[in-house]
Chains A and B, each alone.
Chain A
Amino acid sequence: MLLYTRRAQRIAWAVFAFFFGLLFVLPFGVLVLAAFTRQWNGAFPSSYTFSNVTAAFHKDPLDGLETSLITALLSSLIALAVGTWAALALDAMRHRAGKTLIQTVFMLPIAVPSVVVGLALLVAFSQGPVLLNGTNTIVVMAHSILVTAYAFQQLSAAITRLDPAYEQAAASLGARPYYTLLRVKLPLLLPALTGSLALCFALSMGELGATAMVYSANWTTVPLRIYALDDRGHQFVAAAVTAVMMTITLAVLLVISRIRTRANYR
């Protein structure tokens, strides 16, 4: 408690409501409004329609949605596997230089702009023995690299918070390291695993910078299609596709968070 008079509290709440409404609620409200707008010539839309939303389920945006879902699912699973492995390795590593090496390598994709991650893949795989330019693999690769850093970060934070007593108890009862890992550590980490799966999925769904560098015509994710729609002046359809994308992302996040709650009972 910071403010004790009723009046001061009311002022603080009014300030909060003003900024929160202006910065967060209003932009979202307008986006939803635009998704259902046919014509917008005055302060408010003059006529409404469902056709933007139905257009979002036509061939082009639907292809994009499929592409985005496959890309996000694949890359977040890859990221989870590699990131968890690296986080466990970091935990097991007692050598200081080794720890620094793992941390640096896995933090780098966050410090490097996503556009540069895309550029690097473009430079490396447009020539030489492995040609990936224009394939869907390079898009999944870019997304995986970007989100692996986040998975690693979340998992290593969760591992340092883990109570070592469980692991020690298992070991003292004669459990071998891999058994301890599979039966003790990973189950304890399950909430963190699903949490970072959700984060990676959401990040991959909204990724634009790296994808803009490496995408090809037959593997174009939703954000790029929204960009194209916006660019060609179809703002309302773009808003509708954005709304559909966010709804689907939130639905997937909800499903993932249900796994999390069930895991917490263990």
Chain B
Amino acid sequence: MSAVTELPPTMPATPGGRPATAPNKARFSAVWLWSTPPVLLLAAAFLYPLYLVVKQAVEGSPPDPSNPFKVTTSFSDTLKDPGTRTVVKNTIEMAVYSTAGCLVMGFLLALIIAFVPFPGARAVSRFVDVFLSFPSFLITVSIMFLYGRVGMVNHIVSSLTGGAHDTPVNFIEYSPWGIWLAELIYFTPFVMRPLLTAFSQLDSGQLEVAASLGARPGRVVRQVILPEALPALFAGGSLVLMLTMNEYGIVSFTGAKYQTLPVLIENFAKQQTNYAGACALAVINIVLSLALFGGYRVLLARMSGGRRAAVHA
């Protein structure tokens, strides 16, 4: 799932022009009272269940005398398991490679839409907006038709080579590159959206001044556009990093030869009914993605305040 079109607003430091409310005791408690219900609701529906996941992960599952076939697991068992390590490595690797691809592709496409405008550029950027609300697994389904073992590309290639190989293209089934391609397709718009916003706020006079002073396009991109786009690029990139780490649909639709944490969690819980193991993996997954998210917030806060506006606008 997932489509974030806007990044979380960083703490608004009392927006300008607001009346500084007098520290009135009655009003103060009214605000707290007014804030409690939604927080309590989410706490009961989500935070408490999340706490139970952590609890079960730490406690593990005790041996059950009535059911000798029950899988007993402790947190350290799951951590030590070489299988878990491979999956954690897969998850991080896939997220990093996909994010890198999305950043390059998103920057290139947004750059052309914004600065080499063509008729229909607006329609394309509308398409990007709509694309954000498509389900992710759809991409895997369609690239199977294209690049799968019995897909379109295989038929074309083998008819060109006269059928020398049965299936010349089989990266979808036998390598992680199919997942990478699907994630590249699905998450690139998440990088493009904040970039397009940032580019639209860039004063195009700057580009013309740079060009009239003799800067070549490559230099204009490097020295004028890139510094302005950096916060947006960074924000989009860290969001995509988190979303790719948590992605389930794309990975599970390819047939799960290459497993990531979310897929393994589902497998443990639904196929093997090993809840303790699933909870342990869930804790690992949450810690990884919260670490990324926290790191992103800290880094974002360190960047110059003026530029941040461009990301959230």
Residues of chain A whose beta carbon lies under 8 Å from any beta carbon of chain B = 1-4, 8-9, 12-13, 15-16, 19-20, 23-24, 26-28, 30-31, 33-34, 40-44, 82-83, 85-86, 88-90, 92-96, 98-103, 105-117, 119-125, 141, 144-146, 148, 150, 153-154, 156-157, 160, 164-165, 168, 198-199, 202-203, 205-210, 212-213, 223, 226-227, 230, 235, 238-239, 242, 246, 249-250, 253
Contacts and interface: CB of A to CB of B under 8 A. Distances in A.
Contacts of B2: 110, 114, 203
B109 A203 contact: no
Contact of A114 (B1, B9, B155): B1
A4 B17 contact: no
B217 interface: yes
Contacts of A212: 248, 252, 266, 270
Contact of B144 (A33, A44, A235): A235
A107 B8 contact: yes
Given A2-B221, A43-B156, A113-B246, A12 B275 contact: no
A205 B3 CA distance: 12
A105 B262 contact: no
25 contacts: A1-B115, A1-B208, A2-B217, A19-B105, A27-B139, A27-B146, A30-B152, A42-B155, A98-B31, A106-B38, A111-B289, A113-B246, A113-B262, A120-B50, A145-B46, A148-B42, A153-B9, A156-B9, A157-B312, A165-B17, A199-B5, A199-B133, A210-B1, A213-B269, A223-B249
B301 interface: no
Given A12-B112, A123-B49, A226-B141, A94 B275 contact: no
B47 interface: yes
Contact of B135 (A42, A90, A206): A206
A2 B270 contact: no
Contacts of A120: 46, 49-50, 52-53, 282
Contacts of A114: 1-2, 246, 248, 262
B266 to A, nearest CB: 5
Given A1-B207, A209-B248, A30 B19 contact: no
B266 A124 contact: no
Given A30-B142, A125-B49, A113 B207 contact: no
A102 B265 contact: no
Given A111-B293, A160-B12, 14 more contacts: A23-B188, A89-B34, A90-B35, A98-B35, A105-B47, A106-B38, A113-B245, A114-B262, A120-B53, A122-B269, A141-B45, A203-B3, A209-B248, A212-B252
A209 B38 contact: no
B105 A23 contact: yes
A206 B31 contact: no
A14 B43 CA distance: 51
Contact of B286 (A9, A113, A125, A156): A113
B16 to A, nearest CB: 9
A115 B266 contact: yes
Which of A116, A165, A246 has the most C-beta atoms of chain B within 10 angstroms of its own C-beta?
A116
B48 to A, nearest CB: 6
A230 B245 contact: no
Nearest to B56: A123
Contacts of A2: 111, 115-116, 207, 211, 217, 220-221, 225
B50 A43 contact: no
B249 A28 contact: no
Contacts of B261: 113
A85 B109 contact: no
Given A120-B49, A230-B253, A239 B141 contact: yes
Nearest to A122: B269
A31 B138 contact: yes
B164 interface: no
A121 B44 CA distance: 11
A121 B136 CA distance: 23
B39 A102 contact: yes
A226 B19 CA distance: 53
A17 B121 CA distance: 11
Given A23-B185, A26-B146, A120-B46, A253 B9 contact: no
A230 B141 contact: yes
B143 A27 contact: yes
Nearest to A44: B152
Contacts of B246: 112-115, 209
Contacts of A103: 8, 11
Given A116-B285, A123-B56, A239-B145, A111 B266 contact: no
A95 B36 CA distance: 14
A69 to B, nearest CB: 14
A42 B45 CA distance: 51
Contacts of B12: 160
Nearest to B137: A208
A131 to B, nearest CB: 14
Given A43-B159, A119-B279, A246-B134, A202 B145 contact: no
A86 B43 CA distance: 12
Nearest to A242: B138
Contacts of B109: 16, 19-20
